[in-house]
Structure 1
Amino acid sequence: MTVASVMVFVDPAQQAEEQVRVARSVATKFQASLIGVSAFAVEPDFVGEGVVIQETTPEDLKRMKAELAEKERWFRDVVGLPKERVEWRWDVEYPVAFLANEARAADLVVIRNMYRKVDPYHLVDPAAAVLRIGRPTVLVPERVHELRADRIVVGWKDTREARLAIHDALPFLKQASQVSIIEICTSNEQDRARRGVRDVARHLQRHGAKAETDVRVHTAESDAHQLVRLAKDAGADLIVTGAYGHSRLGEWVFGGMTRGLMDEAPFCLMMSH
């Protein structure tokens, strides 16, 4: 895999620049094009006692479209890349649905990490995005403006999602000065885990990555907290992992490790599903 195009979602009313600057740093790292996308949906009319109290008018729709188009100027000013390397796409549509549709044009998608209940009319729910868009996704926390990815931690377990994450992250892993492949397991699984991470390390080394391995046993702290702590100790600014989740009654539900990382990580996460 190569990274030739990076896509980033921009909230229509956004003023903070974190995930846009991270997307720019990734595009610069790989000399990739950068695609900004933005959308918000028309909220349904509010009806009280049989009377329409709030109704979207043609003027409202015109104003919404103008706001989305105007956001392009802000986006281009922030990224500061040559015009031919930057593209802007927008629509009056649900943000996650629009992003999932447009992601066909990207190798990698960058979004803000807001793992809490979000407004589905204006914001991208990262849980829904990661599980729907079919592209590796970088989740950017608050106050992070750059992704150097010089030291990377891989949260490993021998699953389809983790294998996909390793493959998707290869462009980053090959350029990193240090890649730590970490599996957290029970005490009686250590031999099996060591064999597995050694295989992964050799696989990455054949691709030119500088990979090392580490097997840890579950402790009283959560696995997510332990992995974040180990990443901090390694001086990493990126954790690569599979995303484990499903939809239940319209709600996107994550497994404990995935949810914990999204809640706790103070640096970028790269997830594949």
Structure 2
Amino acid sequence: MNFKTILVHLDHSLRSPARAAMAARWARAHESHLVGLLPSGLYDGIIPAGAIATGMTDYIAESSDYLRRRAEAVAREFRTDIARSGPLSYEVRMVDDVAADAVVRYGRASDLVVLGQSDASNRGDTTTRGLAEDVLMEVGRPVLVVPSAGVFEGRPRTIVAAWDGSRESAVALRSALPALRQAARVTLISLRHPHDEDNTQRLLLSDMIQFLLRHGVQARAESEVTEIDIADALLSRLSDLGADLLVMGGYGHSRLRERVLGGVTRQILEQMTVPVLIAH
């Protein structure tokens, strides 16, 4: 498996250029085609206060025109940044669909979907709130979530993979192989609480190390017992190891349009300090 097509969600938020830049770096590193997906916001129904002058006779037409011009400005910035950073196979797709639906539909024609962490600072814009969670449960592709703060240059060199022997963590590990092959250091981390059942047999750590080795990935494994929350312990180990990417499974299920994620997944997505490659 390779990341031959990478899709990045573009919007008018302050973090969109940083997200796009990371997607472009990954696309160059993996010789991928990059798709910048840009929902206009027309069907999300979000028009910033004061964007349309009062007294307009055709508010719907004026709103549509405003959103189109805003999307075109984002697209121009994306193209300019790509041209400035060097040659790359890419395209921009401007669509009027609901953001989550558009990312899911176009994401299924991609190998990796790049999204931003929900940013509480964009309180006036609800189109991307919970977008990563919604997309993760439906797209059927790995999702790379970029934190709402911080600078992340270059390709990830130190990668931590959360491993608990589950289907979701196996899917995530398999999905991350292209990135793992390019890393200098890969660590599989398994965590449990003192009163949890000893899952050594389920983890098959030595087998997983051999699996990765056959795919060209040299990795080491850690199995630890912790008294604190699993998510907090994982975030602490990321800091200790100087990791610049976390790979993990996304736990939960979807029913109708309600999203229910496991506590560890949700906490990591809320408190992440490095990009997270997550799969379900």
Per the normalisation by structure 2, the TM-score is 0.85
Q: Distance in 2 between matches of 1:88 and 1:124?
A: 23
Which one of 103, 109, 116 corresponds to residue 105 of structure 1?
109
* Within-5 A mapping of 1:23-172: 23-39=23-39, 40-42=41-43, 43=45, 56-80=59-83, 85-114=89-118, 119-121=125-127, 125-141=131-147, 142-172=149-179
Deviates more, 1:99-108 or 1:139-148: 139-148
Deviates more, 1:79-88 or 1:200-209: 79-88
* Within-5 A mapping of 1:198-209: 198-209=206-217
Q: Distance in 1 between matches of 2:226 and 2:98?
A: 40
Q: Does 1:238 align with 2:245?
A: yes
Tell me the alpha carbon deviations over residues 132-155 of structure 1, each in whole angstroms, 9 at most, x when there is no partner.
211111101122343521111000
Kindly state the Cα deviation for residue 58 of structure 1 after the two structures are TM-superposed. Answer: 2.1
Q: Distance in 1 between matches of 2:70 and 2:276?
A: 30
Give, as a single letter, the amino acid of the residue that structure 1 aligns with 2:142: P
Q: Distance in 2 between matches of 1:112 and 1:130?
A: 12
Q: Which residue of 2 aligns with 1:192?
A: 201
Given that 1:65 and 1:91 are in contact with CA atoms closer than 8 Å, whether structure 2 keeps it comes out as: no
How much identity, in percent, do the aligned residues show? 27
Kindly state the Cα deviation for residue 191 of structure 1 after the two structures are TM-superposed. Answer: 3.3
Kindly state the Cα deviation for residue 159 of structure 1 after the two structures are TM-superposed. Answer: 1.4
Q: Distance in 2 between matches of 1:72 and 1:44?
A: 19
Distance 1:15 1:44, change over 3 A: closer
RMSD over equivalenced CA pairs, Å: 2.5
Q: Distance in 1 between matches of 2:89 and 2:109?
A: 14
Gaps of 5+ in 1: 46-53
Distance 1:44 1:27, change over 3 A: closer
Q: Which residue of 2 aligns with 1:51?
A: none
Give, as a single letter, the amino acid of the residue that structure 2 aligns with 1:21: A
Kindly state the Cα deviation for residue 173 of structure 1 after the two structures are TM-superposed. Answer: 1.0
Q: Distance in 2 between matches of 1:115 and 1:192?
A: 40
Deviates more, 1:129-138 or 1:57-66: 57-66
Q: Distance in 2 between matches of 1:124 and 1:91?
A: 20
Given that 1:19 and 1:145 are in contact with CA atoms closer than 8 Å, whether structure 2 keeps it comes out as: no
Gaps of 5+ in 2: 48-56
Kindly state the Cα deviation for residue 248 of structure 1 after the two structures are TM-superposed. Answer: 5.2
Q: Distance in 2 between matches of 1:44 and 1:264?
A: 27
Distance 1:23 1:210, change over 3 A: same
Q: Distance in 1 between matches of 2:126 and 2:78?
A: 22
Kindly state the Cα deviation for residue 114 of structure 1 after the two structures are TM-superposed. Answer: 1.1
Matched residue SS, 1:143: coil
Kindly state the Cα deviation for residue 123 of structure 1 after the two structures are TM-superposed. Answer: 5.7
Give, as a single letter, the amino acid of the residue that structure 2 aligns with 1:72: A
Q: Distance in 2 between matches of 1:113 and 1:87?
A: 23
Kindly state the Cα deviation for residue 15 of structure 1 after the two structures are TM-superposed. Answer: 3.3
Equivalenced residue count is 262
Kindly state the Cα deviation for residue 256 of structure 1 after the two structures are TM-superposed. Answer: 1.1
Q: Distance in 1 between matches of 2:200 and 2:100?
A: 42
